[in-house]
Structure 1
Amino acid sequence: MTAERLRQYKSIKAEIEELAEQIQMLESSDIVQGSDREFPYIKHNMKVETGECDHTRDMLKKELGLLKAEYHALNEFINNIADSETRRIFRYRYIEGWTFQKIAFKVGNGDEQVPRKKHNNFLKKYEKYENHML
């Protein structure tokens, strides 16, 4: 896990919501109202199939799946940090989007360098461990 991937957390979350909305709009735009050709002319909804629309929807769903997988991986990484204070620092930094100064006050230390160093040291150790495993 890298700081760069973690910084994408909030943007990925927003993009997931946007893509889900686009997919929903595409799916609802495929539905039209019509009626039977013969009496009593009962009205009902019909789905209109268009190749271009289906292709776009499939692409969006694929992208949505990839983003959800990355979002899940980022959450899992943060939630699996064993040290409580470090886990809180990562949650506040990436999930909440807080500055290190605000995090320092929240975790009980007014010096922003304390959570920043704890954050950076954890990532360095993790990256070293990850590279060693390869």
Structure 2
Amino acid sequence: MTKELLEQYPDICAEIKRLEQPVTDTVSGSLPDYPYTQRTWTIRGVCLETGYLDDLKAKKQEILSFVQQLKLTEKPIVTYRAIYGLPWARVAAKMGYRYTEQAVKKKYYRILKKYF
């Protein structure tokens, strides 16, 4: 687990979602028997990059496991920023009246420095 991997969480989730969506394409051709009439077929399936997809899912699980083992005071800040990708102002608002935008930012980077 690295700091860079933690910060890539939104991108990892987007790539997993993209790879899990069904793929659709159309092809044209004819039957092998006479009369050779050209037809169009629609082909549907899923992406076959299963090794890459499994690797992304393992990284996602590693990140979620890391966040789960954080202290109760650290978990919300890391979750809002790294997992949900919220801007600092929204993270501070979610944390409540005790935290300013700068305080949340400093606390987040202290957490990263502590674990990485």
Q: TM over 0.5, yes or no? A: yes
d(CA) in 1 for partners of 2:86 and 2:10? Answer: 11
Contact 1:92 1:98 in 2 (8 A): yes
Give distance in 1, aligned partners of 2:2 and 2:87: 18
**CA displacement at 1:79 relative to structure 2:** 1.3
Question: The residue matched to 1:81 in structure 2 has which SS?
Answer: coil
Q: TM-score, normalised by structure 1?
A: 0.63
What is the CA-CA distance between 1:110 and the residue it aligns to? 4.8
Where does residue 100 of structure 1 map in the other structure?
A: 88
Matched residue, 1:12 = 12
CA–CA distance in structure 2, aligned partners of residues 114 and 94 of structure 1: 16
Greater per-residue strand proportion: 2
Distance in 2 (CA, whole Å) between partners of 1:125 and 1:95 is 18
| Percent identity of paired positions between Structure 1 and Structure 2 | 34
Q: Which residue of 2 aligns with 1:2?
A: 2
1:81 equivalent in structure 2: 70
- Unaligned ranges ≥5, structure 1: 30-55, 128-134
- Residue by residue over 1:42-101, the C-alpha shift from the partner in whole angstroms, topping out at 9 and shown as x without a partner, is xxxxxxxxxxxxxx72xx00000000000000111111102x231000110022111112
Residue 49 of structure 1: aligned partner: none
SS state at 1:85 partner? coil
* Runs of 5+ consecutive residues of structure 2 not aligned to the other structure: 27-46
Q: Using structure 2 for the length normalisation, give the TM-score.
A: 0.72
In 2, the alpha carbon distance for the partners of 1:16 and 1:77 equals: 19
User: Match for 2:78 among 80, 83, 90?
Assistant: 90
Q: How far 1:124 sits from its partner (Å)?
A: 0.9
1:122 pairs with 2:111: yes
Aligned length: 97
| Alignment-derived partner of residue 64 in structure 1 | 53
Cα deviation for residue 125 of structure 1 reads 1.4
